[in-house]
């Protein structure tokens, strides 16, 4: 019984994957859209590229602190050259 348990433990050993940590966030993405709702003063952020079936406008709801996805494009600030 103990031998079978050792074999099973070796079969299902999983090494922790190394995921690259991106410094970019959704806040600095060109595709971020900011929607303000007048009825309750709420502001929601949406991704202009990624789609969702769960929202009324068909866009994916995001948080600005989320790590950027592979569709990320940096916002070109004209004031950054000053």
- pLDDT tens digits, one per residue of 3-16: 665 665 666 666 66
* Confidence label for 22 from pLDDT (cuts 50, 70 and 90): confident
Segment 31-41 shows an average pLDDT of 90
Q: Which domain holds residue 52?
A: 22-67
Q: Write the CA distances from 15 to 9, 10, 18, 27, integer angstroms.
A: 13, 11, 9, 32
Is residue 73 assigned to a domain?
no
Contacts of 74 (CB under 8 A, 6+ apart): 24, 28, 29, 30
Q: Examine residue 82 and state whether it is found in any structural domain, yes or no.
A: no
- Could you give the angle at the alpha carbon of 23 between the alpha carbons of 17 and 28, nearest 5°? 135
Give the ranges where the chain is alpha helix by DSSP (H): 2-11
Give the chain's domain count: 1
Q: Is 53's pLDDT higher than 90?
A: yes
């Amino acid at each position: 019984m103990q031998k079978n348990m050792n074999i099973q433990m070796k079969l299902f050993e999983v090494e922790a994957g190394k995921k690259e940590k991106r410094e970019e966030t959704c806040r600095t993405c060109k595709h971020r859209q900011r929607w303000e709702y007048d009825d309750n003063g709420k502001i929601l952020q949406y991704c202009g590229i990624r789609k969702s079936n769960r929202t009324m406008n068909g866009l994916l709801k995001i948080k600005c602190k989320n790590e950027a996805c592979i569709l990320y494009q940096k916002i070109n600030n004209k004031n950054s050259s000053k």
